[in-house]
Structure 1
Amino acid sequence: MTVTLVPSLPTLVTPSRPDPLGVLGVPGEINLDYAASAPCARAASDAVAELLPWYASVHRGAGALSRRCTLAYERARQTVGDFLGARPDDHVIFTRNTTDALNLLARALPAGTTVVTFAGEHHANLLPWPRGSVRLPVPDGPGGAVRSLDAALSELSRDARPGLPVLVAVTGASNVTGERWPIADLARVAHRHGARILVDAAQLAPHAPVDLAVLDVDYLALSGHKLYAPFGAGVLVGRADWLDAAPPYLAGGGATSHVGAATHEVRWATGPARHEAGTPNLLGAVALAAVCEALAGADRDALHAREQALVARLRTGIAALPHVVELRTFGPDTPRVGIVSFVVAGRDSAEVAAHLATAHRIGVRDGLFCAHPLARRLLTEAATRSGRRDLPSTALRASLGLGTTRSDVDALLAALATLS
């Protein structure tokens, strides 16, 4: 007897859309959930397919296959570092995703470090930090964020013991609203107070260039699966000293330079290898590097202009629907990436998302987006701003990317109009 475990899948195609990566898609399906996991780019798929016949160990063998894979892995590290503006003495450490990268840095903090975050962060940038960290209220705008951080760091410098390190951890772009944060200004404030700064670039990097040197930030983390690369790879890039002084994130093969007979006879490696124990995710690293290389060669200004036109069309369309209310943290004209969250008055968000999927073949996200404190606050503010008492307790999120078209946006707006 033959048992069918899953239905047959439609053939993936590269839509005839003006993107340099050749984002893959399924005919007839409208994917507006890029912020959760972006679709795979043809650039990543091709790079993996080319390497697969050679697939072998990394840093573990002397054969031709192993040497080729080791070279591909280290070239991927260089490519990703170049894409992100890594400085010569920065480490580029491959991780599973942004959450993994932030947890790695949290484990590497020197004793006594105070971490300063904002309450509007994704859980990945709220939960890993040590007790005693400072969580600032959500500001009313980019300027308010800068002033709030300046005041908090001034107070810390007065109250904390001299010499104890401080790390500011902030998102580059909100995963709830898409609003961009003033990273360069926050970095200047942090450094003026002797603090370091980490940027969660998971939502910013797919939409805009991110350069550590230009922004003058100390650490940066991102996920490949937000950046059109599958296979569960991310990176932590940044200053080497804390990372080299910390215990390895994982203890195991590849993270050591010497292991003796006694349990205490261990010399740990320095550099990225210190925190990359075990067999690394070769295909993930290569896929991520291929996407970075393709984006580096693209006209990012043209891509940005195209995305901004789509975002403006979506937001204008939502504003014209009296039963749909957009969520936002800052003012309506704040720069943003291709993410828009909203609620449909009188309708449960999970039911709306299911309806969009089944009746219109449109995929969006519903819930609180792993940013519960921020999303709940914005839902309350949306009710106050709109004067409506029938808003649901969770939201919907439409997120755009390189494969999104004007007709995709119009299809969502038309479907939401039918829910009035």
Structure 2
Amino acid sequence: MTLTIFPPAAPSRGTTAGPLDVLGVPGQVNLDYAATAPCARVAADAVADLLPWHASVHRGAGALSRRCTLAYERARQTVGDFFGARTDDHVIFTRNTTDALNLLARVLPAGTTVVTFGGEHHANLLPWPPGSVRLPVPADPAGAVRALDAALGELRRGGVPGRDLPVLVAVTGAGNVTGELWPVTELARVARRHRARIAVDAAQLAPHAPVDLTALDVDYLAVSGHKLYAPFGAGALVGRADWLDAAPPYLAGGGATSHVGAATHDVRWATGPARHEAGTPNLLGAVALAAVCAALAGADRDALHDAEQALLARLRDGIAALPHVVELRAFGPDSPRVGIVSFVLAGRDSAEVAAHLAADHDIGVRDGLFCAHPLARRLLAEAAGRSGRRDLPPTALRASIGLGSTEEHVDRLFAALATLG
């Protein structure tokens, strides 16, 4: 019997070909990559190949279990290599970026001050302990560097109690509302100067550009497979081992221990990734994520970047040409960004527009505040001020592109939006 995993779907041929083709439904235009990217052919193939062998990981002596354990640990190595993990870093598989950042929040040494910006996704705003510092969204990337330098300087000078305690800077690599790139390298340099660590939410950056912990000189990296063309429920936290090995397990249970005695206190926890991966892991998610990482590692990333940037320019230019559409942005209009554009239609409810695009034009976009409520509300207010429009809605629309997106897709969006003017 042949096992069918996916309904019939053709690869969507856009900016790529081969293993990085993405699965899609003919006739449907998916412009919601920033929420969940379509599945890459290589990820689907990796899952299909392993399914007949699917068994327990780390817990069995049979051939199936041994093969799955090897596949799982190879996936860990592949993901670590792809993101430039150092030899003493841990690669811990999680459910997604939110899970990874919550894990990091749980292992912070006592008294750690976390410094973030107000433009973060909720996953990088909500997990941090009381006393965290949230800096305003700057007007440009250089402003972010200056603001962080000033804030860390104040912390170390004693403006906040516990100036000698650990400090963690947590910042996005690319904003999920606007796609704008944050100056991670410069922020890392500032963090180093002030003896702080830095964690990067790379959920939106990793699908569009190479991300290397060593090259960026950052301490932790959080990613989601479902943003990276591997929508099988796996993500990763990659980074320095010391805080991870010193903290209690994120989850208590089987696989996280090296010894459990009869007494309730007689427990020795494992070190390494196993310490925070209790229970049966998401083997297929890890393998799918690793398959995409390997395929991207072998691809011409410069060519993919150039193709995406050309399509992004077409998308932004087309939106700008519509008189009733206003784009959201935090930085200047020419600030570098990945394939994400958020906008509003004057006088139109965003949820109703999204429903109309789906029902009448087979176009999928996102509407709302994109799990970044403080930033999105600020940008909506600023857009009203720039445009002089008083009829902008309280929520926005977001179109996002990636592998498999085409000129036809964005042109169909323009044509549909034009009918709503």
TM-score, structure 1 normalization: 0.97
1:173/1:181 contact within 8 Å kept = yes
CA distance in 2 between partners of 1:104 and 1:91 (Å): 13
Q: Kindly provide the CA deviation profile for residues 81-113 of structure 1, in whole angstroms up to 9, marking residues without a partner as x.
A: 000000000000000000000000000000000
Counterpart of 1:12 (choices 6, 9, 13) is 9
- Number of the residue aligned with 1:37: 36
CA contact (8 A) 1:10 1:26 kept: no
Matches of 1:385 and 1:115, distance apart in 2: 33
1:55 is aligned to 54
Q: Does 1:202 align with 2:197?
A: no
Shift of 1:19: 1.6
Q: How far apart, CA to CA, are the structure 2 residues paired with 1:407 and 1:49?
A: 31
* Structure 1 residues 278-328: Cα deviation after superposition (integer angstroms, max 9, x where no partner): 000000000000000000000000000000001101111111111000000
- 1:215 is aligned to 216
In 2, the alpha carbon distance for the partners of 1:136 and 1:243 equals: 26
Runs of 4+ in 1 over 3 A off after TM superposition: none
**Distance in 1, Cα, partners of 2:122 & 2:23:** 29
**Counterpart in the other structure of 1:186:** 187
CA contact (8 A) 2:199 2:219 kept: yes
Distance in 1 between the 2:136 and 2:15 partners?
40
- Supply the distance in 2 between the matched residues of 1:316 and 1:15 (Cα, whole angstroms): 23
Query: Where do 5+ consecutive residues of structure 1 fail to align?
Result: 1-8
Shift of 1:45: 0.4
In 2: Cα distance, 1:48 partner to 1:232 partner: 12
- Separation in structure 2 between the aligned mates of residue 235 and residue 226 of structure 1, nearest angstrom: 12
* Partner in structure 2 of residue 117 of structure 1: 116
Instruction: For 2:115 and 2:254, locate their aligned partners in 1 and report how far apart those are by CA, in whole Å.
Output: 34
**Letter of the 2:302 counterpart:** D
Could you tell me how far apart the structure 1 residues matched to 2:205 and 2:59 are? 35
How far did 1:418 drift?
A: 1.0
Work out whether residues 156 and 164 of structure 2, in 8 Å CA contact, stay in contact via their aligned partners in 1. no
Q: Report the number of matched residues.
A: 412
The match for 1:155 is 154
CA distance in 1, matches of 2:235, 2:163: 34
CA distance in 2, matches of 1:196, 1:154: 14
- Name 2:144's counterpart in structure 1: 145
Contact 1:33–1:363 under 8 Å retained in 2 = yes
Name 1:271's counterpart in structure 2: 272
Q: Give the SS at the match of 1:24.
A: strand
- The one-letter code sitting in structure 2 at the alignment partner of 1:210 is V
Q: Letter of the 2:215 partner, please give it.
A: V
1:15 Cα deviation after fit: 2.5
Q: Distance in 2 between matches of 1:225 and 1:409?
A: 22
1-structure distance, mates of 2:274, 2:7: 40
Instruction: Using the aligned pairs only, state the percent identity.
Output: 83
Name the SS of the counterpart of 1:229 in structure 2: coil
Q: Could you tell which deviates more after superposition, 153-162 or 277-286? A: 153-162
- Is the Cα–Cα contact under 8 Å of residues 15 and 307 in structure 2 kept in the other structure? no
Distance 2:93 2:379 in 1: 34
- Answer yes or no: is the 8 Å Cα contact 1:324–1:342 preserved in 2: yes
Q: Structure 1 residue 18: deviation in Å?
A: 3.7
Contact 2:59–2:65 at 8 Å: present in 1 too? yes
C-alpha distance in 2 between matches for 1:305 and 1:206 = 14
Listed as ranges, the matches of 1:96-115 within 5 Å are 96-115=95-114
Contact 1:34 1:400 in 2 (8 A): yes
Any unmatched runs of 5+ in structure 2? 1-5
Structure-1 residue corresponding to 2:395:
394
How far is 1:162 from its partner? 4.3
Partner amino acid for 2:362? R
1:316 & 1:206 partners in 2: Cα distance?
23
1:341 and 2:342 correspond: yes
The code of the aligned residue for 1:33 comes to D
Give the secondary structure class of the aligned counterpart of 2:146: helix
- For 1:355 and 1:264, how far apart are their aligned partners in 2? 59
Give the aligned residue type for 1:66.
S
SS of 1:343's equivalent? strand
- Residue 230 of structure 1, CA deviation: 1.7
Preserved contact between residue 116 and residue 169 of structure 2 (Cα < 8 Å): yes
AA in 2 matched with 1:14: P
Pairwise CA distance, 1:161 = 2.6
Distance 1:98 1:336 in 2: 20
In the alignment, what sits opposite 2:175?
A: 174
Q: Assess if the C-alpha contact under 8 Å between 2:258 and 2:269 holds in 1.
A: yes
User: 1:232-247 maps to which residues of 2 (within 5 A)?
Assistant: 232-247=233-248
Partner of 2:298: 297
Deviation of 1:16 (Å): 3.2
Give the deviation of 1:17 after TM superposition: 3.1
Report the alpha carbon displacement of residue 10 of structure 1 after superposing the two structures with TM: 6.2
Q: Which secondary structure state, in structure 2, belongs to the residue aligned with residue 174 of structure 1?
A: coil
Alpha-carbon distance in 1 for matches of 2:96, 2:231:
11
Rounded to whole Å, the distance in 2 between the matches of 1:383 and 1:17 is 35
Find the aligned partners of 2:365 and 2:120 in 1 and give their Cα distance. Answer: 21
Indicate the residue corresponding to 2:82 in structure 1.
83
